[in-house]
A and B are shown apart, each in its own frame.
Chain A
Amino acid sequence: MGKGVLYDATKCIGCRACQVACKQWNELPAVATANTGTCENPPRMDAYTFTRIHFSEIEDNGKFQWVFNKLQCMHCAHPACVEACIVGALEKRPDGPVTYDDRKCIGCRYCQVACPFGIPNFEWDKPMPWIRKCTFCADRQGAGLKPACVTTCPTGALKFGERDDLLAEARERIKAAPGRYVDHIYGEKEVGGTSWLYLSPVPFEKLGFASHSSEPVTVNAARAMGAVPPVLLGVAAAMTGIYWLTKRRRKLSRIKKSDKENTGVPR
């Protein structure tokens, strides 16, 4: 599946250098924010914020914990957005990134509806709005560099590499420190697998991660689309059958009627 990133929540210190590096590399403006009683800002991703850190103050096993996790496009193996896009503006590249080409986009926003993680953002405030999201720094990768967020992370909470190697490393980390991690790599199988993989010290639901089956979300679209020919044929066949039956019945009924009229003598 190409490249991936392993995010290890036990190493993240919630410093948000990744948020700033992303803005700097993508030349995104700061958005107006207010402190609503939390470190988290901006409160949601949008056209100008491709990534952010979520802060969770929770109880786990009777112990108070403050766990951080990074949110951004997951660069799925079977992206729903790619499947939903009717003009092919979104593309999953073999080296990992799910890229977006605004030259093709017609602004229908089906990708926004389709994404199980709610990622594609829309430039609501522009007269010529495009979809915006994390690009997995495809341009940097093309030049042999790591994504901006990975490069800037001071503790190595973000690690970039071949997805298979990262999975092996994640399994190794879980094995080497029993009790430190929940025995699950989020993104290994969810929605058919994503480029971004996560390790956590607490159950993922407590951090706001949605539970997804390992079935690619695109399976629903595929099923729906795949059902169209047989349904079409089946309905057509059934309709044809009903038509034939009805027509025959009418014909038989007309023959009966005309026979009666002609001779008055039943045949």
Chain B
Amino acid sequence: MTNHYIDLRNADCVMIIGSNAAENHPVSFKWITKAMERGAKLIHIDPRFSRTSAKADIYAPIRSGTDIAFIGGMIEYVLDDMEKNPDNYNMEYVMQYTNAALIINPDFIFNDGLFGEVSGGKYTDAAKNAWKYANTKTPATDLTLQDPNCVFQLLKKHFSRYDVDTVCNITGTPKDVYLEVIKTYTATGKKGKAGTICYAMGATQHTYGTQNIRAYGILQLLLGNMGVAGGGINALRGTSNVQGSTDMCLLAHILPGYLNVPVESDTDIEAYLKRSDKHPDSTITPQGLAGDTSSNWWGNARKYIISLLKAWYGEAATKDNDFCFNYLPKVDPKINYTHIGMIEAMGEGKIKGLWNWGQNPASGGPNSNGARQALGNLDWLVVADIWMNETAEFWKRPGVNPSDIKTEVLILPAACSYEKEGSISNSGRWAQWRYKAVEPPGEALPDLEIMHLVMLKLKELYQADSTPKARPIIDLNWNYGEHITADAVAREINGYDLTSGKLVASFTALKDDGTTTSGNWLYCNQYSEEEGNKCARRGTVDSHPKQIGLYSGWSWCWPLNRRIIYNRASVDLDGVAWDSEQPVIYYNAAAKKWEGDIPDGGWPPINQAEIGAKYLPFIMKPEGVARLWGYGLVEGPLPEVYEPWESPLDKNLMSGTNNDPCAFIGKYMNERGTSNQYPYVGTTYRCTEHWQTGIMTRNLPWLVELMPNMYVEMDEELAAEKNIKNGGNVVVSSARGEISAVAVVTRRFQPLRVGGKAIHHIGVIWHFGYSGMAKGDSGNILTPTVGDANTTIPEYKTFLCNVRRA
């Protein structure tokens, strides 16, 4: 989240799209309820009327996978309305804080759904260069926003095709409801008003999921909703500590603190930083805005990567050996190392062993039959978990003969969250510290302890090995003594000044000369000499001058305990808050300092700063302003309507390009269905009562009592057609497999009119499997192995299926 949970109560309008917050993030509803008590309106956009829709002022049905059309139409409305009624919007924000006025390369072309030439599933370098600014170092601007090549005009041209009728024909949303959504939400464009967009997997789990979020970003920037209280782009993260896991880089493409993972051609740190655009040379300085300087904060990455390497390799990391940079595994840019990529490789027999930690690919990833089959190609599999899950038991799953599977499976019982100490980072980036309440049962150990034992053993095994491959293990800094503690790791993640031996106060003090360490620059500041473990703080006083709910003394968040990021955009060029009743920060000119939240850069307001030091607010972008035009993504600078890989339509109603040209399409056991055999739109989702693949919740009797069976949901018309009764048993099938389930026939799904025909959804929960106390078929047996063009997140939310009475 750019903001945080409590801040939701500050919104004038809450738009929930691609999320079922009431069911899957019930605590978020504590704050959304408070916002509504203060008069805020709640809009819910979803294929299905869920427990969230039950609380909404406006419920808008939408065909799964059509967010870009939906939001694109809202963007079109705003762009048009801005010219007619500029007073309804914060034009100063749009012109000075976004790249609306910047001039794009005149060679840019967009034609029939494509942003240039595509070759082998990728846009060519020539195409991508045409997406950049005309002048890539010092881009020109047009503050009248009239230049045909300025971002504002290009946006207008692109979204002019997203008129209300076209949009509603693609999404199936009734026109009057759609107009009501537009009117209600875009009212937050006024100065002093704030709208928040809350989203979750419904937005991201598509082949163009990243572009869905881009669309939300564009809308929020046009409405001046970024950096302000009650605004923001607020991802409701899917598990309690996934924020922590991505911050600490448990993903294939990043190092802790969202640094890039090196690639084979990164011969040294300098090359690595230049290639990944995290170098001072990548600074872009727009000409003609009130702000004249971009801090390009990623240009500091050199200090962060070196401090990280010093934390990892200690004394062995010196200036002479480039701080052991070459110890880091470097990836082949042609290989996809994400979850889907890994299962594909496993299916091809390329992976010998898998360490499976608190994960359940046999039910949790797409295409369960394929994943389960692929696991059988492993020589060995280690499963660390709190219960036996489908992955641990894949070798004896229904329908297979265990003696046919040669994989050796080793189980490491793990402690659950109440049985160990450490921090959990929530969606709002708050890394709240938790304590051990009970001893783990039997031989179960905390993950940290397991890792510690494994590393000690590895070091022991390699200590006599004189080959180069052993050096990264031998030289790895691992001084935790006999019993590792989360506290020690937290301090190491914060980092030390090696000269004084003291904890570093902030990432601004990290150096690139090897005299500082930090396990994660974003978390530098979480542990201090004066206060100790800030994540463990429990201050319940809201000390903000206008009490907007920051509770800065409760726990700690990154970066630097800044609760609302990009907050320099919440004030005008003089440092006066756009919203005087709910300011995030404001400048105290007499005292020459900022009040309120930690400012996103302590420099004075633009108009009060010296020339050459007028810092622009969006510090993480090389150009210092936010990108309405986002040329850094793989499939284009702007979101564009595509159909999902398996679509109920033969053609994309917006252009001649049916699908996202850069989506990842898996090959292993990944049959593609057609709308003839599979006429209905399948979508997977969760319910409140179960958790992920259900391995925790299906072993808890009180939760099984609430939701005892695998079920699917469908509309009454479809059920009548198929002679399916509410509560009856059905079989749902896709090109990948079929599942049995109880049918919940409900008015909460309605057929939608799309492209002249009726589209029926079938909703499938994915919490069940063949392991545990309460069993049932896994929803993911139906889903395809296709992934988002930028992130490879699987398209769980839209595929084709069929249903019959069992």
Contacts and interface: CB of A to CB of B under 8 A. Distances in A.
The answer to whether A and B come from one shared complex is: yes
B196 interface: no
A11 interface: yes
Interface in B678-719: 687-689, 701-709, 711
A20 B709 CA distance: 18
Contacts of A16: 688-689, 706
B29 A35 contact: no
Interface string A182-218: 0000000000000000000000000000000000000
B744 A13 contact: no
A154 B8 CA distance: 15
Contact of B705 (A24, A41, A155): A41
Contacts of A11: 33, 55
B641 to A, nearest CB: 28
Nearest to A8: B33
B49 interface: yes
A262 B711 CA distance: 102
B51 interface: yes
A155 B54 contact: no
Contacts of B53: 66
A263 interface: no
A48 B368 CA distance: 37
A222 interface: no
A66 B705 contact: no
Interface string B496-508: 0000000000000
A14 B687 CA distance: 11
A32 B706 CA distance: 10
Contacts of B456: none
A57 B53 CA distance: 12
A152 B704 CA distance: 19
Contacts of A13: 22-23, 26, 29, 51-52, 54-55
A14 B54 CA distance: 10
Contacts of A41: 705-708
A62 B55 CA distance: 17
A266 B30 CA distance: 103
Interface string A55-83: 00100000011111000000000000000
A33 B51 contact: no
Interface string B100-141: 000000000000000000000000000000000000000000
Contacts of A20: 702-703, 706
Nearest to B711: A35
B29 A155 contact: yes
A35 B727 contact: yes
Report the contact-size class of chain B (Cβ under 8 Å from the partner): 35 or more
Given A23-B702, A35-B727, A66 B748 contact: yes
Interface in B719-747: 725-728, 742-747
Interface string A1-41: 00000000011011111011001100001111111111101
Contacts of A35: 707-709, 711, 727, 742, 744
A36 B702 contact: no
A9 to B, nearest CB: 10
B705 A15 contact: no
Contact of B51 (A14, A19, A23): A14
Interface in B283-307: none
Interface in B737-763: 742-748
A107 interface: no
Nearest to B719: A37
Contacts of A36: 726-727, 742
A156 interface: yes
Contacts of B742: 34-37
Contacts of A68: 51, 54
A120 interface: no
Contacts of B704: 30, 33
B27 interface: yes
B702 A155 contact: no
Contacts of B743: 37
A156 B709 CA distance: 29
A96 interface: no
Contact of B26 (A15, A32, A37): A15
A42 interface: yes
B744 A37 contact: yes
A68 B742 CA distance: 22
A66 B49 contact: yes
B764 to A, nearest CB: 14
B701 A17 contact: no
Nearest to B744: A37
A197 to B, nearest CB: 18
A15 B23 contact: yes
Contact of A155 (B26, B688, B711, B748): B26
Nearest to B704: A30
Given A13-B55, A67-B54, A33 B708 contact: yes
A30 B700 CA distance: 9
A156 B30 CA distance: 7
A34 B705 CA distance: 8
Contacts of B26: 13, 15, 17, 154-155
Nearest to B742: A35
A155 to B, nearest CB: 5
Interface of A: 10-11, 13-17, 19-20, 23-24, 29-39, 41-42, 57, 64-68, 154-156
5 contacts: A10-B55, A20-B702, A33-B704, A35-B744, A38-B727
